[in-house]
Every structure is written in structure tokens, then in C-alpha cells.
Structure 1
């Protein structure tokens, strides 16, 4: 699909990759951009429409779908990271809290907007994953589990939405320079670069985007005798 002239919904749009996606959509000529968040930025204009949407609350999702009926591109970007060891005392709580946002959030939003995408010609859904969908490092066990589950749901969505002509793109990357990675000293991609790659992948009709060397190396390791997740 073409970004120019499209109508996009971006969840978690107030900061980080979400805010970069809003800017990239503006630059690419999207007609309308619904910038969705639990507490949306009051600033609109230039095609940006602030929209209240909490991915853990079905009532706000339904209200957003009722308002944004012209959407042709849904970008499920909202996510949280809560450090937790695999066997830590807080592992269950950390996983459940992250699953509510990182797994069930995209499921709920996509389910609500899928009929609108069909009515508007098919369009596309983008789900933001992570290189940590494929590997666990330190205290990322619960987060990695949530992102692995989100990846599996994305693959299911792709199969189910194919019949209505909706593209489903899963996006993987390592560290990005956002609030979530504050204090991490490893190399990071810029949110602007990730956003630009996502929009390009949508226009190509891709099903998967490996947006940096970390995600590409991890993916390649699956075919080795010692894949990265066993290291």
C-alpha cells in the first residue's frame, strides 16, 4: 500500500518510536494520522488527530474505532518493559502486566480495526516486536516471553487477514534510543531510522522487517547448530 494519502493509526504515539512514526507519516504524505495514547498529546494539526486509546481497555479501543473509521494503516507500537528474572518472585506479575500491553493490546486493536481495514480496501497492520522475541538476556525473561507471544499472534493475524487483503508486517530490532533503553550503553538505532524503515516495508508489501544488524544476526543464527537463544 501507499503511505501517501493513507489514514494511519499509531498506538503509543506520544514518544519514542511512536512519535517518530507520526513525524514520518506526515513527511510521507499521510492524509490523516490518529496519534493514539492513554493520555494523548493535546497538540494536533498538520493532519494529526490526538486520540485517546488505552490498549488494556476495550471500551477505549471500541470508541477509537468508532471515531477513526477511515483508517487504512494500523501500527501497534504501544509497549512496556518490566525487568524480571525467569524465576524471580515477580515473574508472574511482570509477565501478566506486559502481556496485557505487548500481546493482548495488538490483538484487541487489530480485532477492532480489521473490519474497517477490510471496508477501506484491505490496508495494513504493523506490529512492533523486538529482537528479544528470539532471545532472553539477563532480566528480560518476562518481556521476551511477551514479545515471543506477540510474534506468534502476528503470524496468526497474517494468516487470518490475508483473505481480506490486509498486509501484516512484524518488525524486529535491537536497542533503539528511547526512554525504554535509557541507561543502556550498547549501540542503538535512532527512532527516526526505524520509523523510515517501517514505512518503506509497508510500501513494499513485506511480511517481516529486520531493522538492524542485531535482529538480522539473531535470525540467521536459527539455522546454525548453536542458535543465539541457546548461548
Structure 2
């Protein structure tokens, strides 16, 4: 039973970490920008976590904000909508303050399906239509075509750093366990063994003492 609980906790923790990294780390889409616009958007308690704070974004209030959006289409015809908000100094640490410039760049890269201009949109976050959540675009760049491959250097560096950190923490924990916990457990075991040995010796002495008394009383019964 304990094994199942332990593995369930590990799997749950792994899923949480993987989801956090997938949401936070930058992703790259090769798309054709079709439209850019501003829209008053209602931000409620169910989706406020996916939007920037009002003091660093373009928000007018804690409920309704004037948010910039970028509409785009993939080569296969599917569409996607990005929001364009500043992130400021809060999480995630993209330190984005140029949403106005980014909107202008995206508008300049708009194109029609007959004469497409392909663009790499760097973003983080998810598109969840049922919660009105949009990925946040942090950069746009014109590329040669829809087949361009973008190497995610930032993701590689972050994941390698995390793997190294986990490896070092595990080594430190194993060394701590070997140098501190195991000797303490061994000392407790030796102390307990000593206590048991002393208790056994005391019991044997008591048994011998009472045995001698019983034998002495037996001699008196024999004399009578």
C-alpha cells in the first residue's frame, strides 16, 4: 500500500512540474499573422492567473482590461490567437515592457493567404478557449518559410540546469544520509542492543538470585 502511495505522489509531482515548465518555458510557432487589434476583455477569478497583473499590463481595472491580441494561422489552416501583454518583473521572468512595439511589428508582418509572410511567434502559456486563456506573445520574427526549425536554446539550457540541480541535490541528500542519518541510526541500534543486553543480564542475575533463595528455602523444607 505504501509503495502505491509513494509512486502516486511521485507521478503527481512530476506532472505538476512538467505542466509548470510547459506553461512557462518559451515556445515557437511558425504562423502567418492575419490580424492585430485591441479588445476590452473581462478577467475573472477563474482565469486571472493566466493574465499579467494590472499594474504591468494594459489593464484598466481588475475586471475589464484593454488587451492587445494577435490573430494568426498555421500552414495547415488552423488558427490561433495570442494576447500581447507586458510581464514586468513578475513571473514568468520575460521582463517584457514593449507590448506596444510588438503590436506594431506584428501589424507590419500581416499578410494574406495568397501572399503569405511566415513569422516565428515566441510565446508562453496555453490556449484554453473554455476559460478565455491565450498564450502571451513575447517576440515576433520573420522567417523564410513554414518549414523553418527553431532550436529552443533557452529550454535546453533551463532543462539541463534543472537536471544538474536535481542531480546535485540527490548527491547531497545521499551524502547527508550516509554521513549523518546512517551513523545516528547505527548508534541508536547499538544503544538499544546494549540496553537489551543489560536487561537480559539483569534478568539472568535476578533469576539466579531468586533461584538461590528458592534453593535455600528448599533445604529448610527438607530439614523439617
**TM class, shorter-chain normalised?**
under 0.3
* TM-score, reference length from structure 2: 0.22
* TM-score, reference length from structure 1: 0.22
* Greater share of residues in strand: 2
